[in-house]
């Protein structure tokens, strides 16, 4: 069944905030505008979506959290190990446009519920695979990616519809805080369960239970038909009452368009294009770091003699725990700092959002490069600069999404998010873990097999991430040249 659509009034110029949507109003020639705070039920719905987002990203990063154990269990090379995350991301990104199309046209609650049930069930099933069937484990990780695509594509659009003006930026920031928090908890959960039980398979048996709780909350608390806002309609303010000229030709924007028409329109939106490429660079770096940093730190510690080589049944997973904690802390601080910086700087510069993203990408790339250079001599400095690199990457999460939501008309937002997911993962973290692993494996093959070269090979391959980070900053700078014009076009 198609969802009901509601009309939206345009706020007066002095109240308008380009980082948010305007208030919903009822259809009709005369509509009173209410500036009341969002209802408790709307906050409750947002809380359920944030909780499910937490589980979503915990499932993403369970594998990197126990990567040493999985690599040893299935006897995988660096290239084969990197391919494990690549399969997950490829399936995720290929499924995203399908769910974007469905999310713009059909009931979003049903799609979200089905997605949560599917990926939780498959995650549980992957905990029962033995070493002889590694290809089934790869396949199941790909299916988990399909399930999570349904959620990541649609959930942000529901939050955007629930809140107006500054509230939307705040709630999206909270929603995106759960990306790094969930990612970090994925490492902590995986390493913790492996240490407690002595069997890494148990790491895949906790989040399915949490997913079951999320599904129940979704069914009970999220309405069957969530109100969808359309593009702003022409309005005239008369003594506190808004006259919506819905009956005038060319004003009503809810007419159905084909998927191809939506894609062509988005391809002409340069703010969307360049910011998506900037997000792609972010995804490349975060994907590679998320997969390989614990292994890189372990190899650096082996070279320095801090920890012994992993020869026993269960490997030392302390780096996964530490890196998980760093990811949680820097993620929360970064998202909050990014949202606050955007809120303040928008008042003095209309190009603030892309400029914030560009600056943070340049600083992050520098910090990551320094971390790589000091890793062999000072492991504490390495942790510090990796934390700073992650902090400045996290600054961009909510800001990039807010850019999309105000340069793209609401009726195309699910499709835009889906396309952004497709591009950013296709050229970003779908290939970066495999690329880093393959470069590392190639360097090791050309040199003597030793712990020293095992470390150097990973160090050299990681330099690619610093270069891509600089490219990402350049893409966000290009976004700033088009942001004002595209925002005005979306408002029209």
Domain that holds residue 225: 38-232
- 247 inside domain: no
pLDDT tens-digit map of 283-303: 999 989 988 888 888 888 888
Produce one character per residue of 239-262: b if its CB has 16 or more CB atoms within 10 Å, e if not. eeebebebeeeeebbeeeeeeeeb
3 state DSSP class of 359: helix
Q: Which residues contact 337 (CB under 8 A, 6 or more apart)?
A: 391, 395
How far, in Å, CA of 385 to CA of 383, rounded? 6
- 14 inside domain: no
- 308 inside domain: yes
Asked if 266 and 221 sit in the same domain, the reply is no
Select from 198, 232, 266 the last residue of a domain. Answer: 232
Q: What is the DSSP letter of 378?
A: -
How far, in Å, CA of 476 to CA of 491, rounded? 21
Asked if 175 and 270 sit in the same domain, the reply is no
Burial class (CB in 10 A: 0-12, 13-18, 19+), 385: buried
| pLDDT of res. 89 | 84
What is the bridge-based pairing of β-strands 228-229 and 5-8? parallel
- 361 inside domain: yes
- 179 inside domain: yes
How far, in Å, CA of 140 to CA of 136, rounded? 6
Select from 164, 198, 232 the last residue of a domain. Answer: 232
How far, in Å, CA of 327 to CA of 332, rounded? 8
- Hey, how many other C-beta atoms are within 10 angstroms of the C-beta on 293? 28
How far, in Å, CA of 195 to CA of 58, rounded? 17
| pLDDT of res. 117 | 93
Asked if 376 and 427 sit in the same domain, the reply is yes
Asked if 265 and 149 sit in the same domain, the reply is no
- 312 inside domain: yes
Number of domains in the chain: 2
Nearest C-alpha neighbor of 87 from the set 30, 145, 31: 145
Token pair 């049903």 is found at 110
What is the bridge-based pairing of β-strands 24-25 and 5-8? antiparallel
- Give me the half-sphere count of Cα atoms (radius 13 Å) on the Cβ side of residue 463: 9
Q: Would you say 181 and 328 are in contact if contact means Cβ atoms under 8 Å apart?
A: yes
Burial class (CB in 10 A: 0-12, 13-18, 19+), 430: buried
- 200 inside domain: yes
pTM over 0.85: no
The distance from CA 250 to its chain's CA centroid, rounded to whole angstroms, is: 36
The distance from CA 277 to its chain's CA centroid, rounded to whole angstroms, is: 14
Asked if 192 and 98 sit in the same domain, the reply is yes
Asked if 227 and 285 sit in the same domain, the reply is no
Asked if 216 and 265 sit in the same domain, the reply is no
Q: What tokens does 39 get?
A: 């209802």
CATH number of domain containing 204? 1.20.1250.20
Asked if 184 and 138 sit in the same domain, the reply is yes
Phi, psi values for residue 89, rounded to 5° = -70, -40
Asked if 324 and 420 sit in the same domain, the reply is yes
The pLDDT of residue 10 is above 70: no
| pLDDT of res. 245 | 34
- 389 inside domain: yes
pLDDT tens-digit map of 146-198: 888 888 888 888 887 888 756 777 787 788 788 888 888 998 898 888 888 88
Lowest mean pLDDT across 35-39, 255-259, 335-339:
35-39
Asked if 44 and 156 sit in the same domain, the reply is yes
Select from 191, 216, 232 the last residue of a domain. Answer: 232
pLDDT tens-digit map of 69-88: 888 888 887 778 888 888 88
Asked if 218 and 262 sit in the same domain, the reply is no
Cα-atom radius of gyration of the chain, to the nearest Å? Answer: 23
């Amino acid at each position: 069944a198609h969802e009901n659509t509601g009309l939206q009034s345009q706020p007066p110029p002095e109240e308008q905030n380009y980082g948010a949507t305007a208030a919903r109003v009822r259809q009709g020639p005369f509509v009173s505008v209410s500036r009341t705070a969002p209802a408790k039920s709307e906050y409750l719905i947002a809380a359920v979506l944030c909780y499910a987002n937490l589980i979503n990203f915990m499932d993403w990063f369970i594998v990197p959290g126990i990567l040493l154990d999985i690599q040893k269990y299935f006897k995988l090379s660096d290239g084969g190990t990197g391919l494990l995350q690549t399969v997950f991301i490829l399936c995720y990104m290929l499924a995203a446009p399908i769910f974007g199309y469905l999310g713009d046209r059909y009931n979003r609650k049903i799609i979200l519920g089905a997605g949560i049930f599917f990926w939780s069930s498959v995650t549980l099933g992957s905990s029962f695979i033995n070493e002889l069937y590694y290809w089934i484990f790869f396949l199941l990780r790909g299916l988990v990616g399909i399930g999570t695509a349904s959620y990541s594509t649609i959930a942000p659009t529901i939050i955007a519809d629930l809140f107006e003006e500054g509230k939307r930026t705040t709630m999206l920031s909270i929603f995106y805080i759960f990306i790094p928090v969930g990612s970090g908890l994925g490492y902590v959960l995986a390493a913790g369960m492996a240490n407690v039980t002595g069997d890494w398979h148990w790491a895949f048996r906790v989040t399915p239970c949490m997913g079951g709780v999320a599904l129940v909350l979704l069914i009970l608390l999220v309405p069957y038909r969530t109100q969808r806002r359309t593009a702003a309609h022409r309005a005239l303010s008369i003594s506190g009452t808004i006259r919506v000229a819905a009956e005038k030709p060319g004003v009503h924007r809810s007419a159905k368009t084909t998927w191809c028409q939506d894609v062509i329109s988005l391809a002409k939106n340069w703010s969307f294009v360049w910011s998506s490429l900037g997000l792609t660079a972010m995804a490349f770096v975060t994907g590679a770091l998320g997969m390989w940093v614990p292994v890189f730190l372990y190899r650096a510690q082996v070279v320095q003699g801090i920890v012994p080589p992993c020869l026993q049944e269960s490997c030392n997973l302390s780096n996964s725990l530490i890196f998980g904690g760093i990811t949680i802390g820097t993620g929360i601080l970064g998202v909050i700092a990014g949202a606050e910086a955007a809120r303040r700087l928008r008042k003095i510069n209309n190009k603030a959002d892309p400029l914030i993203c560009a600056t943070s990408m340049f600083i992050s790339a520098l910090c990551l490069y320094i971390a790589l250079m000091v890793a062999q001599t000072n492991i504490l400095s390495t942790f510090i600069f990796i934390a700073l690199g992650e902090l400045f990457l996290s600054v961009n999460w909510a800001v990039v999404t807010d850019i999309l939501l105000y340069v793209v008309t609401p009726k195309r937002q699910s499709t835009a998010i889906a396309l952004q997911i497709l591009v950013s993962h296709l050229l970003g973290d779908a290939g970066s873990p495999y690329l880093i692993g393959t470069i590392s494996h190639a360097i090791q093959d050309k040199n003597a097999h030793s712990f020293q070269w095992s470390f150097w090979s990973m160090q050299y391959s990681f330099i690619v991430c610093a270069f891509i980070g600089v490219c990402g900053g350049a893409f966000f700078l290009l976004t700033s040249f088009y942001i004002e014009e595209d925002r005005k076009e979306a408002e029209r």
